[in-house]
Amino acid sequence: QQEIDVFKPQEYWSVEAELQKNKENFIAKLIKKDEKTISKFGIKTKMGADKIVKDLKGAEYKIIDIQKKEVRKYPFPPFTTSTLQQEASHRLGFSAKQTMIVAQQLYETGLITYHRTDSLNLAETFLKTAQTLITQKFGKEYALGTPCRYKTKTKGAQEAHEAIRPSYPKKEPESIKEKLDKNQYKLYELIWQRAVACQMQPAITDATAVDIEARNYLFRVTGAIIKFDGFLKVYPTKISEIVLPPLEKSEVLKLIKLIP
């Protein structure tokens, strides 16, 4: 007789605390009780989770430890045809074909450089103009001392062409919005942002782990605290699953709710 092992899912529960600092909310996970680690399967029943919630009624949530590690996030290179298609799909929901049709329209009206390219080169005139624009618009702390020249790694790349960029970076998207249709504006804005951002300083974040004590329980949240936004000011990009507000040791946080 053949024995068949039937997989039985194991029931387990977790407890999380939704906490707030300066009207910014984040979720911390329960990791210890009485200095003993609670394993993934440590809370086996809803009754067990409900008991923890009851134990924590009226508790104070105090930060007892913060571990930080500085991380620099560098801007992405300017667009090639393939990366423009990928990002337009991801950010704008455009198909590859739609992206090329709209890019062709922008190219024909003289707003962007040639859109069929696998080169990362940028003209010296653009690099100089971008530095001036960034300094004037955002401040010199956002500009690079020396322009960033990206190297094309693709074998046999069309070096005669540049990367895809705005022909005139001083034509900011908002200033020509009324002259473009909705899709043209969206794609031009994306190209402008990416090209300008690639000549900006990196973003500086603290990869952060925060331990929060509530009675004999310990919660932890890991995320990132942005110290300097750098290129993110122009080209917002997800840097972490959780972006935390600035936090200090010994601070008491506001509990919004416990989530069993």
One pLDDT digit (tens) per residue for the chain, 260 residues = 455 555 556 677 889 999 999 999 999 999 999 989 887 767 888 888 889 999 999 999 999 999 999 999 999 999 999 999 999 999 999 999 999 999 999 999 999 999 999 999 999 999 999 999 999 999 999 999 899 999 877 665 555 689 999 999 999 999 999 999 999 999 999 999 999 999 999 999 999 999 999 999 999 999 998 999 999 999 998 876 688 998 999 999 999 999 88
Q: What is the Cβ-side half-sphere exposure of residue 169, based on CA atoms within 13 angstroms? A: 24
**Pair 165, 210 in one domain:** no
Asked if 210 contacts 66 with a C-beta cutoff of 8 angstroms, the reply is yes
**Structural domain tally of the chain?**
2
CA–CA dist 201, 257 (Å, integer): 39
In sequence order, the 6+-apart residues with CB closer than 8 A to the CB of 201 are 141, 142, 143, 144, 228, 230, 231
Rounded to whole angstroms, the Cα distance separating 150 from 166 reads: 17
What Rg value do the Cα atoms of the chain yield, rounded?
Answer: 25
Contact residues for 94 (Cβ-Cβ < 8 A; gap 6+): 85, 88, 102, 183, 187
The tokens describing 93, both together, are: 């929901």
Classify residue 43: in a domain, yes or no.
yes
Domain end, chosen from 143, 176, 197, is at 197
Catalytic residue annotation: 114
Q: By residue range, what is the domain housing residue 184?
A: 81-197
Same domain, 66 and 93: no
